[in-house]
Structure 1
Amino acid sequence: MSAVAVKHPWLLLGPWYRWAVPGRPSAGRGSRPQIQKYDSSKLVDTFLADPQRSLRYTDEDRVHVVQTLAPLVPALWNGLRRRLADTHYAPSATRKLFLDLHKRFYLLVCELHCDAAGLPSVDRNDVCEAGFVLRRRVVRGLTPAALDAVKPVIEGLASARAELGLLDGMAPADERGWLARALGGAVFDAGVAGAREGRRALAEARLGELGAQFDAWVATYGISSELQGWRVLADRVGRWEAVGETPEQTFEQVLPLYPRVPDPRQPDTGYGRTLYFGLVPTGAADVDEAGKPKLDADTRYELRAFVRRRKPGCPQPSGRPPGKPVCKGQVYWSLSTETFQLAAPFDLDGTSHQPVNVPLPDLNALRAQAASARPEHAALRLVAPPDSQLEFTADDAANVVPGLPSGQICSFSIPLITIVATFVFKLFLGLVVLIFNLWFLLAFRFCFPPSISLSAGVSAELDARLPSIEADFAVSLEADFEADFFGPPPDDALEQQIDLHFDANARAATVDPLAPVARARLVGGVAGASAKAGRGEIAPLAGLEYEVAVQPETPA
């Protein structure tokens, strides 16, 4: 698509390959810039080579919230609990961006067009400045009384949306394990379909009623939303201030947008389009005047891009910093991106992208080396200033003697510290779990032999027997069918997995009170994770899904 010289207004849109119909102008108008996801810090090279080459967003890329599930059937079956918990970790509608330390990186991508028939591309030499800003929206007028009044409404809306999400996520019968296959798809689906439609009608009615209550609350308490941008005050110090949607001049911190210049030696996978991209910040050391961080995991953010038109007679753009155009031509703003939140540093999905391996010391090797140990083998030196040494003996550890006359330098080998730290961790892990009744934390402990995995036969049997339905009502239906038609499922392999992954205390507190289906779900998750780890399926590159490449629609 060739550039044009006619002075039409400009449109800063999403990239053509993310339009509802790729390349069709009518589908591009009104599109938003896109945040593309990558698993490599060399994302710019990837984008320049092929702008469509990015990771697909999946369920893990949504902010999840804890929601209470409504009871659908009695909570107990033969005195046993039907489900693991009365809460559900449900995905919300808010996008989640992981951090750099999670091995996820993001680009903001947009495309510049003339506002004319066919959306012709703009010559990038006509652009004087290109950049984007990070913004947030804060609620004004929220008093303690207003918060108390709306809290049950917010919780109800989130619960209703979570239930609708569960209904939408139901798997077909052939993916629901041994019970669905034993009953037959028609019989199983007949029971599930009736429950699903009934629950959907109730959830949608509840959602509408609560939505009306929320609107009335906004009017009653005069609640409003304020758009804010980040003003830089000093090096790594700034503050959030109110800003207009599309100002001609802005005080905000402007992040650079760069034009995609295709390699002339390679075919242009951008099809001659005027694409711009910028690195999305997911971490910053900036703080406000009170020391609060600029970015956190609880705030919703959005990005908005702009370009400034070069006035006739102005020099060609030549690497000027963002926010300092040579000539002040007209500014064209894009729509805002979808809102997003940042993942917490210890987000479980995020940390799984970049596993950390800490080999424990080989005691036999250390025993053999101890005879020839030298001071330089102690790689860690602890230097205690004068009057700051803490001394005690194993016989009387309660009598700590601080403040010896002089300081001291002690050197320790890394293996020694690692052994002691591992022992202390394992010792206190059991105490913490026992004292605070946190047995569910054991679900995050996966131990497996480094070179031994579950056999293919056992793995296939687990896949055939253990249901993997996420929806609570579907699990409850399976429990009902199980009780009415079959009784407990065959559980020889299940009992073996329980003995393998849970000691006696953990089993008594966590597994034994569960009904067979709920027990299968818990043990199946732990056993499945161990099997995947043994097969090498839990790895940085495992499970990556990429966007499907498309071509622009050709005129008829």
Structure 2
Amino acid sequence: MNESGFVLRSPWYERSREGLDLRSPVARRPLIQMYDNPDFVARLLEDPADSLEFGEDDVWTYPVPVIPPPTGSTRVRLSTSRLVKSHLRKLYQPVHERFYVVVVEIFCDVPGLPRAGSHREISVGFRMRRMHTSLTAKGRPARRVAADLVAAMAKEQGIQTRVTASDVRDVWWADAAWRRQFEEDHKLELAEIDCHSDYQQWLKSPKGTGRWRTLRDAGDPVREGEVEEIIPMWKLPVRAVDAECAEEAGPKGPESRSLWFGVIPTYSGEHWLAPQPGGRPSLIQQKLDDRGIFEIECVVTQPREGCPPLTWVSAPSEPFRLADPMDPQGTKNRTVTIKLPDLRRLAARAGEKQGPGGVRVITPPGSQLKVNPFKGIPGSGAGRVGTGAAICTFAIELFFIVAFFLFLLFLPIVILAFQLWWLLALRFCIPPQVGFSAMADFVGTAGLGALSATQRAEFNIAMGMEFGDFAVGDRTPDWVDSLNAAKNPDNTLVFADKDLAKAVVKGTDPLDTVQPAALPHEMSPDDPLCKVPAGP
């Protein structure tokens, strides 16, 4: 490294919190910081040390099948899976109300590592590197190792699992000491598995397309015009709490620091053509997905007139994976409210001349699907493809009404057909008067079939359906009837188990939800470069 070059370290406040020396290997890593609000940049500029602590939900987990307890009437009776935690960091999506930045501090690479705040000619960015694991093995050894690996992780966390067929690539996480012991216990199976990990860089072409390229792969050279994507970073000002101190301290105070931050992308609309072995056609894959393991390296660039610029690279950040948008641990952080269309207002609108707005549907020639909907679900060959073309405009409310009706129609079918009782615990409605606790106790004693007419009506409303306005004497099966008639594969009644019925009622109680607690903040230490105020 050039004697007048630079070295990169974790920011001063992280070293202060953890008691790290500049020479510590841990201090060489850039710091990933988490926020729970879109105004995170304003908070970062105010005080970069004021971020959120990573908690139990911020590590990668693997769902494993478990046998629900045979007794008890809590939500646990409905759950057929549990989450096994790893030591790998997990970053969520903005739709989950989570935002992330990487922060690094720059020092001059001369004895004593002086702070580099005076250097204005440098630019700083970061690159994301992906760890790609390829696996070659016969199916049985790979499945056995993966299942044993997950089972061992679950056992360490007190979770009793069923047999599982996890993907070994998905669970081969980095905990060196623990993994060495596992490797020793599974020598024979691992000998049949060829598992190889490569680090990849994201290259951008002059045409704007991109691809992951394996580093140091002679068979996959960098093509003409391709450059690695560098995401820009910005220099952080002196934090607001230290502004007055910075003026008094002068060039040796907080102003002498060179702190930089960049926003970590946790999603991307970009795709690329991933080559496949054996001459098979390439596959279109996402640039950023929930399968890869990523690391961040910060890069300092110093231009030189007439010569290529000089660059200095930090050690990699801690590795992490990205949550997918439908990750349940992420979606629970954000409430989305959808109000159904008001049928009275739509009826009033129907009496007026229609405006141009709505959903415009264009049917190309030879693409019209013709079927008579009044004959029920059409059988094989009953439909026709029409030759005509049409342009229709529908009120968007009409689409939503039909879509929600189909949801209500098929939700019971899916739950009953596949016996996915835990789905009932993922939704709830608020009926007018029902006391869930009293109803749950009653069901736990007498069963669902003993509900009174009033209780039955309230229970159906809690399940999202109103049966009270049907014709007198209409005994169309409702939720109570359907659950009472549900049978196990061995033809026994599922809800003859009154505790299980009680668990279903409890699982739909809106008062049984947990309001998320405020997330703890990282400690914001006093700046050691500021003068300590004198006591009174």
Q: Same fold (TM over 0.5)?
A: yes
Measure, in 2, the Cα distance between the counterparts of 1:210 and 1:367.
67
Helix, strand or coil for the counterpart of 2:145? helix
Which of 146, 155, 163 does residue 147 from structure 2 map onto? 155
Measure, in 2, the Cα distance between the counterparts of 1:307 and 1:131.
7
Q: Which moves more between the two structures, 357-366 or 258-267?
A: 258-267
Q: Which moves more between the two structures, 17-26 or 300-309?
A: 17-26
C-alpha deviation, 1:143, in angstroms: 1.6
Provide closer, same or farther for how the CA distance between residues 57 and 522 of structure 1 changes in structure 2, counting only shifts above 3 A.
farther
Which of 402, 407, 412 does residue 394 from structure 2 map onto? 412
1:336 aligns with 2:316: yes
2:47–2:239 CA contact under 8 A, matched in 1:
no
Measure, in 2, the Cα distance between the counterparts of 1:490 and 1:28.
61
- Give runs of aligned pairs for residues 525-536 of structure 1, distance below 5 A: 526-527=508-509, 529-532=510-513
2:84–2:150 CA contact under 8 A, matched in 1:
no
Q: 2:214 maps to which residue?
A: 242
Measure, in 2, the Cα distance between the counterparts of 1:438 and 1:550.
50
Which of 164, 179, 201 does residue 229 from structure 1 map onto? 201
Q: 1:277 maps to which residue?
A: 261
- Give runs of aligned pairs for residues 120-519 of structure 1, distance below 5 A: 120-123=114-117, 125=119, 128-140=122-134, 142-145=135-138, 148-166=140-158, 210-214=182-186, 223-243=195-215, 251-262=227-238, 267=243, 271-272=254-255, 273-289=257-273, 290=282, 291-309=284-302, 328-329=309-310, 331-370=311-350, 372-376=351-355, 379-396=358-375, 398=378, 399-403=382-386, 406-448=388-430, 500=459, 503-504=479-480, 505-506=482-483, 512=495
Helix, strand or coil for the counterpart of 1:152? helix
Helix, strand or coil for the counterpart of 1:358? coil
Provide closer, same or farther for how the CA distance between residues 521 and 439 of structure 1 changes in structure 2, counting only shifts above 3 A.
closer
- Alpha-carbon RMSD across the aligned residues, in angstroms, is 4.6
AA aligned opposite 2:317:
T
Deviations along 1:421-473, one digit per CA (max 9) or x if unpaired, are 21111101122222222232222222225xx7999xx99x99xxx9xxxxxxx
Measure, in 1, the Cα distance between the counterparts of 2:326 and 2:67.
29
Deviations along 1:246-278, one digit per CA (max 9) or x if unpaired, are xxxx95222222221347897289944321111
Q: 2:169 maps to which residue?
A: none
AA aligned opposite 1:328:
P
Which of 39, 63, 67 does residue 64 from structure 2 map onto? 67
Deviations along 1:156-215, one digit per CA (max 9) or x if unpaired, are 232222332348xxxxxxxxxxxxxxxxxxxxxxxxxxxxxxxxxxxxx99775331456
1:10–1:115 CA contact under 8 A, matched in 2:
yes
Deviations along 1:287-312, one digit per CA (max 9) or x if unpaired, are 223432222111111111122456xx
1:13–1:29 CA contact under 8 A, matched in 2:
no
Deviations along 1:94-130, one digit per CA (max 9) or x if unpaired, are 2221223333221111111245676531235265332
Which of 84, 87, 90 does residue 93 from structure 1 map onto? 87
Which of 99, 102, 112 does residue 106 from structure 2 map onto? 112
Provide closer, same or farther for how the CA distance between residues 412 and 342 of structure 1 changes in structure 2, counting only shifts above 3 A.
same
Measure, in 1, the Cα distance between the counterparts of 2:59 and 2:243.
35
AA aligned opposite 1:135:
R
Measure, in 2, the Cα distance between the counterparts of 1:429 and 1:420.
14
Q: Which moves more between the two structures, 415-424 or 231-240?
A: 231-240
1:386–1:407 CA contact under 8 A, matched in 2:
yes
Provide closer, same or farther for how the CA distance between residues 244 and 332 of structure 1 changes in structure 2, counting only shifts above 3 A.
farther
1:48 aligns with 2:71: no
Deviations along 1:510-549, one digit per CA (max 9) or x if unpaired, are 9847685x8877765543x54558xxx47xxx74443232
Deviations along 1:344-369, one digit per CA (max 9) or x if unpaired, are 12222333344332211222333344
2:443–2:501 CA contact under 8 A, matched in 1:
no
Measure, in 1, the Cα distance between the counterparts of 2:230 and 2:519.
32
AA aligned opposite 2:300:
V
Helix, strand or coil for the counterpart of 1:336? coil
Deviations along 1:320-371, one digit per CA (max 9) or x if unpaired, are xxxxx97533x3322211211111122223333443322112223333444x
Provide closer, same or farther for how the CA distance between residues 303 and 24 of structure 1 changes in structure 2, counting only shifts above 3 A.
closer
Helix, strand or coil for the counterpart of 1:44? helix
Which residues of structure 1 form unaligned runs of 5+?
1-5, 168-204, 316-324, 467-487
Provide closer, same or farther for how the CA distance between residues 301 and 507 of structure 1 changes in structure 2, counting only shifts above 3 A.
farther
Measure, in 1, the Cα distance between the counterparts of 2:526 and 2:184.
44
C-alpha deviation, 1:12, in angstroms: 0.9
Normalised to the residue count of structure 2, the TM-score between the two structures is 0.69
Measure, in 1, the Cα distance between the counterparts of 2:245 and 2:324.
35
AA aligned opposite 2:294:
Y
| Relative contact order higher in (CA < 8 Å, ≥ 6 apart) | 1
Measure, in 2, the Cα distance between the counterparts of 1:525 and 1:81.
6
Measure, in 2, the Cα distance between the counterparts of 1:411 and 1:447.
33
Measure, in 1, the Cα distance between the counterparts of 2:213 and 2:319.
18
Measure, in 2, the Cα distance between the counterparts of 1:97 and 1:160.
25
Normalised to the residue count of structure 1, the TM-score between the two structures is 0.67
Helix, strand or coil for the counterpart of 2:419? coil
Q: 1:202 maps to which residue?
A: none
Helix, strand or coil for the counterpart of 1:298? coil
1:549 aligns with 2:524: yes
2:75–2:504 CA contact under 8 A, matched in 1:
no
Helix, strand or coil for the counterpart of 2:407? helix
AA aligned opposite 2:198:
E
Measure, in 1, the Cα distance between the counterparts of 2:314 and 2:92.
24
Q: 2:249 maps to which residue?
A: none
AA aligned opposite 2:261:
F
Q: 2:13 maps to which residue?
A: 17
Provide closer, same or farther for how the CA distance between residues 453 and 263 of structure 1 changes in structure 2, counting only shifts above 3 A.
farther
1:297–1:344 CA contact under 8 A, matched in 2:
yes
AA aligned opposite 1:304:
E
Deviations along 1:369-396, one digit per CA (max 9) or x if unpaired, are 44x3322176223233344434444444
Helix, strand or coil for the counterpart of 1:240? strand
1:109–1:276 CA contact under 8 A, matched in 2:
yes
Helix, strand or coil for the counterpart of 2:33? strand
AA aligned opposite 2:234:
Y
Q: Percent of counterpart pairs with the same letter?
A: 28
